[in-house]
Structure 1
């Protein structure tokens, strides 16, 4: 490998990078997706791309329920600082083991049902998290998620649509106890923000189309109450 040469010189840097710092690996969840159904990894990364562009230029962003945080670099590239939390130590340990200096961020174990994250943030986002929260706990979860937001902070919440669940896999259905229709998600979040903008998503495409045909729903929130 040390003596290997690519046929096109511009690709030699790829070998040199692998020799210098090794080859990076997937996270726990992303690895399973890549093996079982690769297109789902594309969908997930597209959700991070949407968040990244909406939050571009933010000072300090909080991700709630980061899982293996595999897509988080897409957001990091657009913001000054990022903190990620998850209530499962298994995922946070995996994240920390894969951390590299260039893309370092604060990853910590925290259960949002036990209280807000200490600190101050000008944006917060949660992708594929709210649907796992028992409906009786959703108001506590959201109140704690938004408690550390600056007065001018914003939030993005993304969930699978309720309408999509007839097509969900058994594994997904087992954890999805609180999916929302677009109108229901908007109504819920209007208790916390003056402005809630809804986007639909099908596969990797975000749009403003008919929400009942969307597989996924984004709420972009601003104007904290």
Structure 2
């Protein structure tokens, strides 16, 4: 800011953030910004859905947070957000960037999450399950259940949101994505899979930024809202 402009703030936002309090992207979000900027809008819409579903929750866990650029959307509506990723490179970078104060960043060891943080009111994982081989998906879900608040006598308990590309969407995916997406599911298959671990599962379709209740085979992306965890699967 030059000498003529400095001190003459015509915009209160410029004045408030002129001292370096500007959010910074990380590796993943920067790649999207430069290579496929429309992905930013899609990611924001997905995190907005989570923020609305978990609004008011005291303690929430994110699995697969990458560089944690979008997670302020969820952190703004919950008491505390634990953002985790299996790759410590992302966590180390995120700790150097401006992130919400009500957020804890940690490299992922899902099997130890309950001991370290206690049980969570909600857990969500967007674009994670499709990367987990089918032979490992049961252990993945059991570890999630052990980190959620268990079902109580009043019918309460922790809730889970999973978001994945639909199986039908893969005909349009790049070869690189197809190689990494080893566990995409159709809508009905997704619901039946989640019902093995939760008493009630609500699956939503998503196309572009719109979440709806439309025909699963025409959905590009799927959300599963899972409530009332089954005790027998822990």
* TM-score past 0.5 threshold: yes
Once the two structures are superposed, the pairs formed by residues 83-102 of structure 1 within 5 Å of their partners are: 83-100=82-99, 102=100
**Greater mean deviation of Cα atoms: 170-179 or 212-221:** 170-179
SS at match of 2:183: coil
1:183 — aligned with what? 188
Range with bigger deviation, 13-22 or 143-152: 13-22
* Structure 2 partner of 1:73: 72
Deviations 1:162-204 (A, max 9, x none): 0000101223222111111111111111111000001000011
Deviations 1:124-150 (A, max 9, x none): 000000000011000001110221111
SS of residue matched to 1:223? strand
TM-score (norm. length: structure 2): 0.89
Distance 1:127 1:183 in 2: 18
CA distance in structure 2 between the aligned counterparts of 1:182 and 1:6, rounded to whole angstroms = 56
**1:142-153 superposed matches below 5 A:** 142-151=141-150, 152-153=157-158
Q: Is the 8 A contact 2:24 2:69 kept in 1?
A: no
* Equivalent-residue separation in structure 1 for 2:211 and 2:227 (angstroms): 19
Q: CA deviation at 1:24?
A: 2.5
Cα distance in 1, alignment partners of residues 194 and 70 from structure 2: 25
Aligned residues: 220
Equivalent in the alignment of 1:103: 101
Following the alignment from structure 1 to structure 2, what is the Cα–Cα distance between the partners of residues 2 and 72? 34
Quote the residue 1:170 is aligned against: 175
Matched residues in 2 for 1:49 and 1:139: separation?
Answer: 28
RMSD: 1.8
Give the distance between the partners of 2:45 and 2:39, measured in 1 at CA: 10
Distance 1:7 1:96 in 2: 33
CA distance in 1, matches of 2:84, 2:6: 42
- Which one of 197, 201, 204 corresponds to residue 192 of structure 1? 197
Q: Could you say which residue in structure 1 is the equivalent of 2:37?
A: 38
In structure 2, distance between residues paired with 1:116 and 1:126: 17
Alpha-carbon distance in 2 for matches of 1:167, 1:38: 18
Q: Which residue does the alignment assign to 1:209?
A: 214
Instruction: Determine the C-alpha separation between the residues in 2 that align with 1:96 and 1:185.
Output: 34
Q: Please, which runs of 5 or more residues in structure 1 have no aligned partner? A: none
